[in-house]
Structure 1
Amino acid sequence: MPVALCLVTGCASSGLNSARENFYRGNLKQASENLREIPEGNRDKILLLMERGTIHQEAGNYKESTDDWVSAWRMAEELDYLSLSQGATSLVVNERVKNFQGMPYERTMLHAFAAKSYMAMELWDDAAVEARNLIDRCQNIGKFPQDAYARYMAGFCMEMIFDSDAASRQYKEADKLTPHLTITDDGQIMRATTNAARVAKSSPKTSELVCFIGIGRSPTEFGSWSSNYRWGATPFAEIYTNGKCLGRSHNFANIQYLLAGTQKQLAAMRTLKTATRIAIKETLAATVSSENEFLGEMLRLLLYSFETPDERRWE
């Protein structure tokens, strides 16, 4: 039986690697230039948009960052319904032949990061739209890990449009996800103690300075987390003015833990798909071997050489 086999592979562009290197060196202009052109049809387009949006935000180009992130999540939504043919190809080759769509926590983070850029432009209603997207993502994320940062961001955005009830609900959800902290209904944050809530209620209402801070680097495509520990296992920032400490940051989300929890949920599905893919490869190789043993063995070696995991992620 003659067998026709078309093999297609995809990989992240060298421009992405250069952009990441320049970004973490602080060369934002060059990092942006590395990702200036994103070819149509690139299987990593969503990932490239995510990364370029991050560069734009860090450089203070907030409009450009939201443009990239909105494009990324819209493409991801479309691909949820248009990936059947790629799914069939991935059963023969590997998961990297599929368009990158992002893990659940990454797609949630898209809305959280976009909300920050909208707030930086004082576009409070647009930030509230992202807050509603965050709430929807969190409510429909299934068994994948929840994200307290997203919940708090949603609450803060709703507070900015004076929807105190919606804000309070999100702050309560964030509080449930952070046992090491006490988050009050009005968004105050403090270390968890037996009387933290009572202290918060008795504290006089004053002006607030709220900072959303990202520290460190998420795990790389190669699974390295060592760069995270440059700042310690639980990094934080302190805010000073005139030598006085106004407060410190608290950890709401750790990408390492979100990734690990997500991979745990995906493990069973991936194991089943890998077993199916191996069975298909063996069937193809055996079919060719029945007519030409040498070609069959060569095909088997070729097919298994593509058996690599998909480790693409937003870094």
Structure 2
Amino acid sequence: MVKRASVAVVAAGLVVVLGGCGGGGGGGVQERAEASGKEPAGATPERPSEDLVKWVGGMCESTAVLENLRTDSAADLKEIRDSDETDLFAEARAVGYLSRTPSAVEGVENDLADLGLSGVLAADRLLDAWLKKVTRVVTELDGVSPGAAFGDAEGSVADVDKLVQSLTEPEPDLLALTKRDPRLAAAYERAEQCAPGRQPEEEAAAPTPGSTGPLPGAADGENTRACADGACEVLVTSTADITANGVNVHVLVADDHVTFRTAGTLMQLGGAGGEAGFGDELKAIVVAHNKDGAVLRFSIP
């Protein structure tokens, strides 16, 4: 398992939720379904109830989200494995992965729990099986810390990826059930989320200040030596090693975040306006940031 480590992770304009179990829980769905014995009101094979269509659509949506999560997780792990083990890019990517993955899985757990009972016993058994799988992984991910990326980017991500890859569809899956139950087949046909090739909807992210448009000029250009006294404004387009007021800072600028690393500390800021603090010796502000680089202002607190 991934070990805990002391780390400061700062995300400006991004709310990151780590660990914790969602409100869903995995037990009891099948038992409640068997006890209720309810059928969707007014349902016929030709015209299923709107509630059943919504339920089936939600199941297709959650299944697609998990499939994408497995694919993206495998791609992240491969990229980290292909990187130099001491590469700042690999560690920064691992920190981001370990920060967002637990909350992504927990989000699916909550979505599945919100579906409630479908009124079709076989479908409710499928939901129960999904919740047991996802809740187990959420519980395992509760101890994940982004600080595990320090010194072992590949190993920490591999541990989490193994859990993510375990989130495969229980059998019989929803598509198999539609071939056995005309009500589910009709609902599946009507649910937009179940259309072939449809990708799950993503929540629109709020625009990040300073992340679009041209970068302003930096007072000291790309001359990072100007930071020696602790006060400078520099442009970093990729990576840089900056010594400011005696603090050695490794900087990585990616498309969606800026990473600052010192001995024992790793911070990620998204967009502009975020501030990274390094004790009483130094602070750094992201003045502007886009795909071309970032303008950073260092100063003594």
Where on the TM-score scale, by shorter chain, does this alignment land: which range? under 0.3
TM-score w.r.t. the length of structure 1 is 0.26
Answer 1 or 2: which has greater helix percent: 1
